[in-house]
Structure 1
Amino acid sequence: MSASKRQKSSKDVPYELIYWPSIPGRGEHVRLALEEAGATYTDTAHVKDGIQTVLGQIDEKNIGDAQNPPGLAPPLLKHGDLLISQTPNILLYLGPRLALVPSAEDDEDGIYKVNQLALTALDGLSNEPHDCHHPIASGLYYEDQKPESLSKSRDYVKNRLPKFLGYFERVLRGEASGQGPWLYGGRLTYADLVLFQCIDGVKFAFPKAMEESEKSGKYVKLFELYDAVKSRPRIKDYLTSERRQKYSNGIYRYYEELDVTG
């Protein structure tokens, strides 16, 4: 059976999200897509001994199987015989299946534009905030790099955060955004969910800077998108459920000494 045939036949199989327990992390973007679509899925974060599945996947002895190379780190998504990793790659796979990108018939290149927006949000509003508390090395404790973390955070809040908030405000004011609060094509896509989660995380890590940004009036449409996603019925239900992981020592962390303004 060809790979394309195998993937098409696995549509009705529940999705399996493989990710760490106790932190939202990069797996949260996948969860939001699955929750918004009302998809059936399992999550190792809520399965007894699910951590063993995560550790088994990233074990250095794991060399994958005949169809799938091993993943380096979670999140991973298992769907039938398919096993893939990397958050943007997983979302690229899920997008058409969960109707979170324009259909190829309506917009042949739309999926790549949605992916572009998601990647940009992850670059500047997920990866860079992580580097604020680990600017030297991810293998070191935060306590080992506190002075550098403060310098990085000050620069991020002053220069990088406004750059990315301003970019998405421009996108939302552009013609390609379409009607309504969404980033592309006048409809909700997974890029909107990614941006929501990124904004939510930065609000947790840098509440003073984000409050200042919102009150400035420079990013009205951006915060309208944030509120629009938050009020989606399935998202609203998810955010108040036990399935939603609380922020802790993951990508987004709150340290009072790093809570600076621009």
Structure 2
Amino acid sequence: MPYELYYWDGLQGRGEFVRLALEDAGAEYIDVARGAKKDGLGTEAMMKVMNSKTEAHIPFAPPFLKDGELIVPHVANILLYLGPKLGLAPKSENLRYVAHGLQLTIADVVAEVHDTHHPLATDLYYEDQKDAAKIRSQNFIEARIPKFFGYFERVLRQNPDGDTHMVGKATTYVDLSLFQLVDGLQYAFPRAMRKFGKHYPRVAALHDAVLERPNIALYVDSERRIPFNESGIFRHYPELDQDAK
């Protein structure tokens, strides 16, 4: 049976990190919320699972994955589960936990990206917190991007098995997720990311290497990939962008 991915229709968001792994592996999956209601799919089908009074392990929020009767929530948890099945995890059990730790660090960055445009409250519109968003974005560009990507650059430099892989000597879901993180930041903060490759050449090389993977290249150029937009996590508001120091 195909995997069932549950995430909001019209958004890349956190669901995209899971989609990239499924697409890279050529796995059969259903993007449930994007399906037709007549087929028993769509957003209502996702909400039905979340609001179920009979499911033993209901998820708090999307994304979550169904594999048969099993429901797996949270991006890092989903990828920890899918990685070995899709051939996108280290064979060493020890290194799988290293990969999981790196994925959790990427999740930390994603949360901070979200807070650049919603620094005060998720329930408020961006327009209600623009002044705070400018302060938060400036700090993110000047302090947090160097902090996180300096770390990722060091991880790549110190990997004994290859400097375009975060863990081991083969592509893992962590590499795909780092690609998505860089891609999203290039959309959200094009000015700040202008000299990214100069400051973080190994991360930039990893991004380009992932983009050259056949299934990823096909997916990125296909209609299956939802474009970045100002309803997702990575949003481009020109007033929040600035040149990095």
TM-score (norm 2): 0.94
How many pairs align? 239
Distance in 2 separating the partners of 1:42 and 1:254:
29
1:212 matched to which residue of 2?
Answer: 195
Tell whether the 8 Å contact from 2:156 to 2:163 is kept in structure 1 after alignment: no
1:19, 1:43 within 8 Å by CA — same for their partners in 2?
Answer: yes
In structure 2, C-alpha distance between the alignment counterparts of 1:128 and 1:255, rounded to whole Å: 16
Partner of 2:112: 128
The answer to whether 1:145 aligns with 2:129 is yes
> Conserved in 2, the CA contact under 8 Å of 1:202 and 1:210?
yes
1:118 Cα offset (Å): 1.2
CA-atom RMSD in angstroms: 1.2
Identity of aligned residues (%): 46
What's the counterpart of residue 5 of structure 2? Answer: 17
Amino acid at match of 2:53: I
8 Å contact from structure 1 (residues 182, 192) kept in 2:
yes
Q: Compute the TM-score of the two structures, normalised by the length of structure 1.
A: 0.88
Residues of 1 paired with 2:72 and 2:165: CA distance?
28
Residues of 2 paired with 1:31 and 1:234: CA distance? 12
User: Does 2:156 align with 1:172?
Assistant: yes
- Residue 195 (str. 1) matches residue 187 (str. 2): no
Q: After superposition, where does 1:244-255 map in structure 2 within 5 Å?
A: 244-248=225-229, 249-255=231-237
Counterpart in 2 of 1:112? 97
1:84 deviates by 1.6
In the alignment, is the contact (CA less than 8 A) between 1:95 and 1:101 conserved in 2? yes
Deviation at 1:213, TM superposition (A): 2.4
- Mapped partners of 2:22, 2:73: distance in 1: 16
2:72 partner SS? strand
For the 8 Å contact 2:192–2:241, the answer to whether it is kept is yes
Please name the residue that 1:261 is paired with.
243
Displacement of 1:52 = 0.8
1:241 paired residue number: 222
**Displacement of 1:179 after TM fit?**
2.2
- Partner residue of 1:186 out of 147, 169, 173: 169
Rounded to whole Å, the distance in 2 between the matches of 1:108 and 1:252 is 33
Q: For residue 53 of structure 2, what is the aligned residue in structure 1?
A: 63
Q: Secondary structure at the match of 1:78?
A: strand
1:203–1:64: structure 2 CA closer, same or farther, 3 Å change rule?
farther
SS in 1 for 2:199: coil
Aligned residues of 1:22 and 1:45 also touching (Cα < 8 A)? no
SS of corresponding position for 1:129: helix
Q: 2:69 aligned with 1:86, yes or no?
A: no
Three-state SS of the structure 2 residue aligned to 1:114 is helix
Distance 1:118 1:51 in 2: 27
3-state SS in 2 of match to 1:73: coil
User: Secondary structure at the residue paired with 1:42?
Assistant: strand
SS in structure 1 opposite 2:191?
helix
| AA matched with 2:87 | A
Measured against aligned partners, the alpha-carbon deviations of 1:30-75 in whole angstroms (never above 9, x if no partner) come to 100001111111112431131111222333xx2352xx41101111
3-state SS in 2 of match to 1:63: coil
Which one of 217, 230, 233 corresponds to residue 211 of structure 2? 230
What SS does structure 2 have at the residue aligned with 1:109? helix
Equivalent residue number for residue 83 of structure 2: 95
Distance across 1 between alignment mates of 2:54 and 2:178: 32
CA contact 1:205–1:252 (8 Å) conserved in 2:
yes
AA in 2 matched with 1:58: M
In structure 2, relative to structure 1, the CA distance for the partners of 1:63 and 1:84 (3 Å cut) is: farther
Mind listing any 5+ residue stretches in structure 2 that lack a counterpart? Answer: none
Alignment of 1:53 with 2:45, yes or no, is yes
SS at match of 2:66: strand
